[in-house]
Structure 1
Amino acid sequence: MGLQERRTEQRREQREALRERILEVSREIVKRDGFASLSMRKLAEAIDYSPAALYLHFRSRGEIAHALRLEGHARLREAFVAHTTIADPAARLNAMARAYVEFGLAEPETYRLMFMEPATLADTAANGADKPAEFGAATLSLIADAFVELRVADRLRPHAVPSACAEGLWANLHGIVALKLNGATLPETPVATLVELSLDAWSAPAHETELRTYSANRPDTSTR
């Protein structure tokens, strides 16, 4: 590698290091004080750079929010993927649902930024995998896959649609987290119990499953 190439590589590494430093400090501010407290000026002071240096990497506070949202969605998906090896779909759903609530309660400001703050221009202008909505859809598909398996095993209530069940479960889980984060007097019921009840809303009781299995396998005596 020649001198010019080494200098180019060094500049690239310095730019990447500064970008990561900006995001690192942004994470700290958001986790500590919430996204509303994040400003380009405060960020520049925290990393001891001029605001102009920040704008070389992020053109707005919204672009920083976009990057932090993507990071949050990636971590949430990783938490789900960790449970995809669970063979039983009901047990897998339970584990993923708990992981979702645990993530929201462990990182409240990141969760608020992901799901309780308005989308920014950077979010809507992004393409493909760079859109938070795409990350959310990919995570939702892991829930839907488990519901599909329950449907195949005849363990869902009649007429329950797996994709709708997945969206309904996510909505329930978001409600649990949002109530907790906003300091509401409810829910008083333990989170684990709320997760179980959310899943029970779509799961067919064991006796119904057994009855449908028996009816499907019962010999046809109508022509005798």
Structure 2
Amino acid sequence: MGIAERKERERADMRRRIVDAAMAMFVEVGYEKVSIRNIADRIEYSPATIYLYYKDKDELLYDVQKEAFTELAAHFAHNLTAADPIERLVQLAWAYIGFYRANPELYDLMFIIKAPMNAEGEQEKWKNGDSAYDALYHLVAECIEKKRLRFADPTTAALSIWAFAHGLISLDLRSRLKVCKLPEKALNISIDDAIRAYLEVIKC
């Protein structure tokens, strides 16, 4: 292994350590409560070392977000097993809800807080969301082609389905569903019933 190759591997290893530590700490105590110095202390390096890789905490969170979307894509791949596209769409909906319930703090970093989007700057496309959105888009496009959904346009269908599920999740994540005055177990059942009802409405 040459010097340049070894240095590149060392940089990749250090970036991996920083991202892993940051993800763990953001989930444990919340993004706002974690500083670059805290992360440096966790990996036993100086803050200056982290600044060699990331200009600020928002840029670091963007890479953490990217890792989280890789996990979500793997979660989809594991759970979408049906041959029938409409059944896979149902599986995707429950996989999405299930991912949130297992990782509420991570979901917040991925979809709710604004901070990682600051690293996007003037870019028109949010690349971190590609894998999850593409999985939904291509699936609904297949459903529409086979006349299994009450939509004519895949983009409209993908946005509608995503917005419905994300809306329920966001309300639950921010404790706004307490307005329903239901105990937690009954509230989860109510959310599940709403998802089932919506999926039935959009099927052909």
TM-score when normalising by structure 2? 0.82
Q: After the TM superposition, which residues 1-224 of structure 1 pair with which residues of structure 2 at under 5 Å, given as runs? A: 5-6=2-3, 8-118=4-114, 119-124=116-121, 133-157=126-150, 160-183=152-175, 184-185=177-178, 186=180, 188=187, 190=189, 191-204=191-204
Unaligned segments of structure 2, at least 5 residues? none
2-side partners of 1:194 and 1:143: how far apart? 19
2-side partners of 1:151 and 1:126: how far apart? 30
CA displacement at 1:19 relative to structure 2: 1.7
138 and 46 in structure 1: CA distance in 2 versus 1, 3 angstrom threshold: closer
Residue pair 2:86, 2:148 contacting (<8 A) in 1 also: no
Give me the identity figure in percent: 28
Structure 1 counterpart SS, 2:54: coil
1-side partners of 2:153 and 2:122: how far apart? 32
2-side partners of 1:121 and 1:80: how far apart? 27
1-side partners of 2:96 and 2:11: how far apart? 34
Rg comparison, structure with higher value: 1
TM-score when normalising by structure 1? 0.76
23 and 125 in structure 1: CA distance in 2 versus 1, 3 angstrom threshold: farther
Amino acid in the other structure paired with 1:175? G
CA RMSD, Structure 1 to Structure 2 (Å): 2.5
CA displacement at 1:168 relative to structure 2: 0.8
Residue pair 1:101, 1:176 contacting (<8 A) in 2 also: no
CA displacement at 1:52 relative to structure 2: 0.9
Looking at secondary structure, tell me which structure has more helix per residue: 2
**What are the superposed Cα offsets for residues 10-47 of structure 1, whole Å, 9 maximum, x if unpaired?**
44333322221111111111110111122111112222
**What are the superposed Cα offsets for residues 58-112 of structure 1, whole Å, 9 maximum, x if unpaired?**
1111111110111111221222233444211121011111111111221222211
Structure 1 counterpart SS, 2:121: helix
Amino acid in the other structure paired with 1:199? L
Residue pair 1:19, 1:57 contacting (<8 A) in 2 also: yes
Residue pair 1:79, 1:96 contacting (<8 A) in 2 also: no
92 and 58 in structure 1: CA distance in 2 versus 1, 3 angstrom threshold: same
102 and 124 in structure 1: CA distance in 2 versus 1, 3 angstrom threshold: farther
2-side partners of 1:156 and 1:15: how far apart? 47
